[in-house]
Structure 1
Amino acid sequence: MAANGEDGGPSVQNEPTIVTAAETGITADEIALYDRQIRLWGVKAQEKIRNANVLLINIRALSNEIAKNLVLAGINSLTIIDHAIITERDLGAQFFISETDIGKNRAEAAAPQIRNLNPRVNVIVDTDDISIKGPGYFQNYDIVVATDLLPDTLNLINTATRVNNKPFYAAGVQGLYGFIFADLIQHDYVIEREKGNRETLLQPETRTRSVIDAKTKKEGGKLIEMVTKREVYSTWFLASDTAPLPQDYTKSRRRLKAVTPILSCFRALWEFQQIYDGRFPSNHADIAAFTTLATSKHRALGLPTETLRAEVLRSFLQNLGGEIAPVTAVLGGQVAQDVINVLGQRQQPIQNLVLFDGDSMDAPTYALHPDGDLGVALLPLSAAAQNGNAPNGVN
């Protein structure tokens, strides 16, 4: 898999090589099973993936896709925590369960089918409610992925993952629309490319990304440069509401006009659910309140009023609560791929919010961060929030 081309030089894919079990901790059977992946991202990355323990919170249509892709990639273990009981509503787009599973726990019913995808992966079921878990619960996982949860719950989980210094993803779908959020705190990764004539400087490239190391090696008669980059992140609490668009957007009306209004819609939905006990807008008063919130969020982002059209709001509201298989496949595949990239440390990760608009079939990414420190500098704030002492209303 090629590295992103933004790095200023041609990206280099791993050369096809014959790998033996003696050269790595991976067994000969695993080399045969994961041969295509090893050729894509290399043996070292596959070893990191093989040793990874991932926590997946909730198992619905979106997380079906995430689980499928992670298990097929060959992680060490996948723990699925979900306390919900299957109802008829779950049968639409969730392919690990059937009508005979109605009345069973969602995680327990899905687990056998997930195990069948790759018996080498340890699939663990936890039927507890994630809300009763303390911060220590998250310390044994390499990455935590939370799907289709309320914003307050996502905030609490993200606080706990930061206390434990664990990468965190949140994702959700509402019919034709969806989002992916990443808080990797601080993540280093390596881009390999042919060495160019221009020296690679160890310096910031953007507000969130810096070049921290550059080395060279000879490979196949070429001089290859291995550039280590570092991305820093902020929390769900900040990115989901108060963080502005980057300056390269706010200084350009053309770029502001191109920002999807689905960002304002999701921010309005998250605040609505915080105000109204997690429910969706369901009556005329609710729709009026949601519209007021969306208009306020749109204005706060500095977006042109004409881009938040009535038909956009109507379509978003009509899609609330829906699960559409093609949408969950696209978003679930992207989440799983980014988790794999982060584990292997070979590709640039999501930074930090992806929004999917099924009407336009577009999925732009926005780096939404507050002013001030990012990355590990926010860890003290997370610890304060976990102890109930967060400033400025952080909870």
Structure 2
Amino acid sequence: MADQAQSNGSVVGKNSSKEGISADEIALYDRQIRLWGMKAQERIRNANILLITMKALANEIAKNLVLAGIGSLTIVDHEVVTEPDLGAQFFLNSSHLGLNRAEAASSAIQRLNPRVKIHVSTSDIRTQVPSFFSQFDIIIATDIDSPQTLDLINTATRLNSRPFYAASSVGFYGFVFADLIEHEFVIERAKSNLPTKLGPETRTRSVVAVSPKPDNPAQELVTKRELYSTWLLASDLASLPPDILKSPRRRKIVTPILSCLRALWEYLTLYGTPPDPNNRAAIAQFTVMCTEKHKALGLPVETLKSDILRSFLQNINAEIAPVTAVVGGQLAQDVINVLGATQQPIQNFVIFDGNSMEAHVYTLHPEGPLGKALFNEESSGVDAAAAVANAVDAAAAAAAAHAAIMAGGGLGPVMPPDMNMFTGGGGGAAVDPMDINGAMGSGFAAAPGAGFPQQPLPLLVPNGTVTGTDVTAAAAAATAPVSGGGDVSVLGGGTGSTPGQEQQQQQQGQQQS
């Protein structure tokens, strides 16, 4: 089915006719053409979109894009419909149970707009080679619970110079991430008394061209360019922009859901599954991660309250239709804006909080180059396979380092803020988990299995290796005990066990005693 999607999927411009938009299409899309113009509608009409994972969030995205009149939509999902899928997905019903999710939803999506070509692939997106993504204009990955997989997809989209979106819903909460690499858009505005200057406006945005509007000299057309960074950098390594960090007032109003999401992504990297709200050890470790992510962002600890942590944990495995409608609608609208190239796009993270009904936009970029300069194959002389291999190695090394830090026993007994929960013994000195040099001393060891997933990392190649690199072996080697090392502990208790294993060990110890 993956081959079917690749062979049948339309390429850029294939759906357009030499005559352009027909009279019937103009009548059908009249309202939106009045909103964003004929040229933008033509670009939308010729667009080929890849949508990964068909859950409630993807339902909303697919609905909005298909109704807008894109050229083709390719849906990739290897999972089957289960009972929980029926709760928030309006393209499915009980007759679809056991069927592939993409295939089950495709007919209802097609009925929304017969002019749009719908393609389905039932293959696992992790088995696709990087060149697979070159046939699409925009790639959207939704509800993927593996940060490594998102990193690798983003690497492939960068190699093919394709805009990339990642999004997910977490019960009442959700996020949208955009890596458009370098995106230019044109805005029309009234001429000012002072001429518009070319050059940087912000760190990410610059004015690259200014021209008078041909049919109205009082108006001017300003071409701007936005620069982006990758998922790997923005999701964990990037700090908040200086204008927020320098303002105590603005730091206090940064949503703590950003810290919770970053902690969730780290937890998923370490264990492959989200924290169990019924497991005290898992809750305690997740709370420590949230606190450290909050501190790393430079945010005041008092804004990370216990009720926020509790609510986030309770929402991790939930899909709520109104939330997916808001997040999916916002993402789809931004895709339309990018295709039309007449509006400012998302830069680069949107965090939605359903409790407050607010969507916050944060520009999260690390120091250094952005845009094409961040990942320029031509200038660096790196081929596609080597670039993917480097991304895999980087993901493995990062996961191994996080596992070593979190398993190190240096955290000691850390109580979650305002939460009466057991967090483990220990007694080690309080160490910042982000301080690798401080945590990894001569007697520090991380045993294989101390939190690192024991399956191969998701790769963009079918055989599980890239240029001869076995990621499982590499991860095991990276986490092997070092000279002078001994037992390690999670939150100061246990011997390199995961939170679930630690709970079992505690129960066994009680039975023996």
- Counterpart CA distance in 2 for 1:23 and 1:190 is 25
- Counterpart CA distance in 1 for 2:109 and 2:319 is 20
**1:387 partner letter:** A
Matched, 1:351 2:340: no
Once the two structures are TM-superposed, the CA of residue 218 in structure 1 deviates from its matched residue by 4.6
- Counterpart CA distance in 1 for 2:213 and 2:133 is 38
- Counterpart CA distance in 2 for 1:280 and 1:30 is 49
For each residue in 1:278-318, what CA deviation from the matched residue of structure 2 results, as whole angstroms up to 9, or x when unmatched?
33334111000100000000000000000000001000000
Task: Decide whether the 8 Å contact of 2:274 with 2:316 is kept in 1.
Answer: no
Structure 2: state its 5+ residue gaps: 1-16, 400-513
**1:267 partner letter:** R
4+ residue segments displaced more than 2 Å: 278-282, 380-385, 387-395
Task: Decide whether the 8 Å contact of 1:273 with 1:279 is kept in 2.
Answer: yes
- Counterpart CA distance in 1 for 2:221 and 2:305 is 47
In structure 2, what is the equivalent of residue 173 of structure 1? Answer: 169
Correspondences of 1:140-289 after superposition (within 5 Å): 140-150=135-145, 151-219=147-215, 223-282=218-277, 283-289=279-285
For each residue in 1:46-88, what CA deviation from the matched residue of structure 2 results, as whole angstroms up to 9, or x when unmatched?
0000000000000100000000000000000000000000010
Greater alpha carbon shift after TM alignment, 277-286 vs 111-120: 277-286
Number of residue pairs matched by the alignment: 374
Correspondences of 1:33-52 after superposition (within 5 Å): 33-52=28-47
1:306 alignment partner, one of 276, 296, 302: 302
State the identity as a percent.
62
2:68 alignment partner, one of 56, 73, 76: 73
- Counterpart CA distance in 2 for 1:350 and 1:334 is 9
For each residue in 1:244-275, what CA deviation from the matched residue of structure 2 results, as whole angstroms up to 9, or x when unmatched?
00000111111100100000000000000100
- Counterpart CA distance in 1 for 2:114 and 2:157 is 28
Q: Which has the higher contact order (CA 8 A, sep 6+)?
A: 1
Task: Decide whether the 8 Å contact of 1:237 with 1:394 is kept in 2.
Answer: no
Task: Decide whether the 8 Å contact of 2:63 with 2:112 is kept in 1.
Answer: yes
1:97 alignment partner, one of 92, 100, 121: 92
In structure 1, what is the equivalent of residue 374 of structure 2? Answer: 378
- Counterpart CA distance in 2 for 1:199 and 1:326 is 45
- Counterpart CA distance in 2 for 1:267 and 1:316 is 12
Question: Secondary structure of the equivalent of 2:222?
Answer: strand
Greater alpha carbon shift after TM alignment, 276-285 vs 56-65: 276-285
- Counterpart CA distance in 2 for 1:281 and 1:386 is 32
Task: Decide whether the 8 Å contact of 1:385 with 1:394 is kept in 2.
Answer: no
Question: Secondary structure of the equivalent of 1:343?
Answer: helix
- Counterpart CA distance in 2 for 1:394 and 1:39 is 49
Cα distance 1:45–1:394, how it changes in 2: closer, same or farther (>3 A)?
farther
In structure 2, what is the equivalent of residue 6 of structure 1? Answer: none
**RMSD over aligned Cα, in angstroms?**
1.8
In structure 1, what is the equivalent of residue 389 of structure 2? Answer: 387
Task: Decide whether the 8 Å contact of 2:179 with 2:228 is kept in 1.
Answer: yes
TM-score norm. by structure 1 comes to 0.92
Once the two structures are TM-superposed, the CA of residue 380 in structure 1 deviates from its matched residue by 3.7
Cα distance 1:215–1:24, how it changes in 2: closer, same or farther (>3 A)?
farther
In structure 1, what is the equivalent of residue 102 of structure 2? Answer: 107
**2:329 partner letter:** G
1:368 alignment partner, one of 343, 364, 371: 364
In structure 1, what is the equivalent of residue 454 of structure 2? Answer: none
Task: Decide whether the 8 Å contact of 2:264 with 2:274 is kept in 1.
Answer: no
In structure 1, what is the equivalent of residue 20 of structure 2? Answer: 25
Once the two structures are TM-superposed, the CA of residue 217 in structure 1 deviates from its matched residue by 1.9
**2:180 partner letter:** L
Once the two structures are TM-superposed, the CA of residue 385 in structure 1 deviates from its matched residue by 4.0
Structure 1: state its 5+ residue gaps: 1-21
Q: Say which one has the larger Rg.
A: 2
